[in-house]
């Protein structure tokens, strides 16, 4: 039986991060809305309660029946989760004199407690709450304090009575966030809980996932034929290779070129898929897309036209495969997690292929539906896929159409493709050396890196979540090239760091790299005479310009 940790989501922005940290411990976890705890699931070995934007005293605060799991499996409450445990079981939660946000240090902790085994005294943690626990429930004991928060961590051991029932296992609670980077030993705390307390066998790995999923796909699909829409991106590519391993040539992939991919990308990706042994139909529909986009400048209208045309082209090809019964997607776990806003309404849930005609009558197959993005990449490596496919940055579905401000023409696409190609190649070629935590994170992610003198050497490209060039085609700037004045377009470069694209910070690229790339773009790309760098973060800006 596959063991699992259940993470109950009370609307925290870092709930997915808790899940990623648990998965890094080779332990399967499932993130569920706070009120969807699975009944009678013998595979559950522990429960984690997330943070929340609410106070436990808010009338609309999310509430859960703790008796469903308290005392049956180990429980860890984080921030709101800790306050909810205290509030519900007889402790006291009050408004803090001042909002407790940012770095703090565990000036007092019980290192003998299993949750804190291996912890250093004065270890840094990250606080983010407006309420504080002023007294803990009867039967609980304080095991960690900071200078300002006496009840920073507490627990109730097995054998004591809670909810009128003797506990078979303990309850732990912390008012800080172990899942965030700024909590220095947060990963150790989660390991202590998941592995040592809950007893995880740590058997959730890329290899075990591939073996299990291939068997499940073979049982699910039988001798049926499957269609998959490829984008050239990581998720759809890994899904295709996994399906190919399970059912071979009964998988047919369709890769549509709308004319706004990166330079030479259609041919390069088709060649990659050929090497991987995939059965791929490549469709060059660029003329149709360019014709339908002619004169359109509104960003939303561009997206609608491209989405409509893609569906038409894809459907026309899919109809030729008359015996297909399944439509496969590269849907990953973050696409399916139900996130909650402060009103309690679902703002993101399971997504399907938007706009595909219902008359296709195909069943849905999603082989990656339990994986986070970093896990998808590990599975790709396990399947032996080329590294440049696995580490490829996210790329918008409408392609360069949303990186060209103004109307779309083949010439503008040519200009942006050339500038973008120089930029991306430069990021891949430029190497940086990392030490300490940054080096550890790179190695843990499986990114190819060279070790030298205790340092890790990695490309700028592999340090960045997403990068690309934007053509400001609605703007012209004056320049001088040789003895002539020019009146051409500026190009803006964008590079961001992120973990899930929900938030992103601009990447602090080296000055010498920026100078080199700017010089090469201006000298080699006809139609560009100025290069800028976008230093906006998300929020308030978005990663893409349109």
By annotation, the residues acting in catalysis are 79, 177, 179
Q: Cα-flanking dihedrals φ and ψ of residue 249, to 5°?
A: -75, 5
Cα gap 258→286, rounded to integer Å? 4
Residue pair 432/509 in contact (Cβ under 8 Å)? The answer is no
Residues 6+ apart with CB under 8 A from 192: 114, 115, 116, 117, 118
Closest CA to 127 of 96, 92, 85: 96
Q: In the structure encoding, which two tokens stand for residue 309, read together?
A: 């045309």
Tokens 């292929």 belong to residue: 353
Helix axes 234-247, 265-275, angle to 10 degrees: 30
Cα dihedral across residues 116, 2, 14, 402: positive or negative: positive
From CA 285, how far away is CA 311, in angstroms rounded? 12
State how far the Cα of 217 lies from the Cα of 207, in Å rounded to an integer: 15
CA–CA gap between residue 274 and residue 280 (Å, rounded): 8
Cβ atoms 394, 377 nearer than 8 A:
no
Backbone φ and ψ for 197, nearest 5 degrees, come out as -90, -50
**Cα 228 from chain centroid (whole Å):** 22
Checking DSSP bridges between strand 455-459 and strand 450-452, what pairing results, if any? antiparallel
Structure tokens at 544: 């893409």
Q: Is the dihedral of CA 36, 37, 42, 46 positive or negative?
A: positive
Bridge partners (DSSP) listed for residue 178: none
């Amino acid at each position: 039986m596959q063991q699992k940790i259940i993470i109950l989501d009370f609307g925290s922005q870092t709930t997915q991060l808790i899940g990623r940290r648990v998965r890094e411990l080779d332990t399967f976890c499932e993130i569920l809305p706070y009120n969807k705890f699975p009944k009678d699931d013998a595979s559950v070995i522990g429960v984690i309660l997330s943070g929340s934007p609410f106070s436990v005293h808010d009338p609309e605060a999310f509430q859960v029946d703790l008796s469903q799991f308290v005392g049956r499996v180990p429980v860890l409450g984080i921030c709101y989760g800790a306050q909810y445990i205290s509030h519900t079981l007889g402790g006291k939660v009050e408004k803090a004199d001042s909002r407790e946000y940012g770095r703090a240090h565990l000036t007092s902790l019980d290192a003998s407690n299993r949750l804190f085994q291996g912890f250093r005294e004065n270890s840094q943690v990250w606080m983010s709450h407006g309420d504080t626990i002023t007294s803990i429930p009867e039967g609980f004991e304080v095991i960690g304090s900071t200078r300002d928060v006496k009840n920073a961590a507490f627990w109730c051991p097995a054998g004591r009575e809670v909810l009128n029932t003797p506990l078979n296992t303990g309850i732990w609670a912390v008012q800080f966030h172990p899942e965030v980077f700024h909590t220095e030993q947060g990963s150790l705390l989660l390991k202590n809980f998941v592995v040592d307390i809950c007893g995880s066998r740590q058997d959730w790995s890329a290899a075990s996932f591939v073996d299990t999923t291939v068997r499940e796909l073979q049982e699910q699909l039988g001798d049926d034929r499957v269609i998959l829409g490829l984008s050239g991106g990581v998720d759809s590519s890994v899904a295709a290779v996994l399906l190919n391993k399970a059912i071979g040539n009964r998988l047919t992939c369709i890769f549509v070129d709308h004319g706004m991919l990166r330079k030479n990308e259609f041919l390069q990706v088709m060649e990659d898929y050929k090497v991987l042994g995939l059965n791929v139909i490549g469709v060059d529909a660029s003329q149709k897309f360019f014709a339908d986009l002619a004169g359109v400048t509104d960003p939303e209208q561009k997206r609608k036209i491209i989405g409509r045309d893609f569906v038409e082209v894809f459907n026309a090809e899919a109809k030729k495969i008359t015996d297909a019964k399944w439509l496969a997607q590269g849907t990953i776990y973050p696409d399916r997690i139900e996130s909650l806003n402060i009103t309690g309404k679902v703002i993101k849930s399971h997504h399907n292929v938007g706009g595909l005609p219902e008359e296709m009558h195909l069943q849905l197959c999603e082989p990656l539906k339990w994986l986070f993005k970093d896990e998808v990449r590990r599975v790709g490596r396990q399947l032996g896929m080329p590294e440049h496919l696995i580490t490829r940055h996210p790329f918008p579905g409408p392609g360069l159409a949303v990186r060209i401000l103004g109307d779309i023409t083949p010439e503008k696409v040519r200009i942006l493709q050339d500038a973008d190609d120089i930029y991306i190649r430069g990021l891949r070629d430029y190497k940086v050396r990392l030490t300490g935590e940054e080096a550890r994170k790179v190695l843990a992610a499986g990114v190819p890196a060279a070790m030298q003198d205790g340092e890790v050497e990695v490309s700028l490209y592999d340090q960045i979540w997403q990068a690309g060039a934007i053509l400001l085609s609605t703007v012209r700037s004056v320049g001088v090239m040789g003895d002539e004045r020019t009146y051409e377009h500026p190009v803006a470069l964008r590079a961001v760091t992120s973990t899930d694209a929900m938030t992103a910070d601009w990447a602090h690229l080296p000055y010498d790299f920026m100078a080199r790339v700017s010089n090469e773009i201006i000298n080699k790309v006809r139609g560009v005479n100025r290069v800028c760098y976008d230093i906006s973060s998300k929020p308030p800006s978005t990663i893409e310009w349109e």
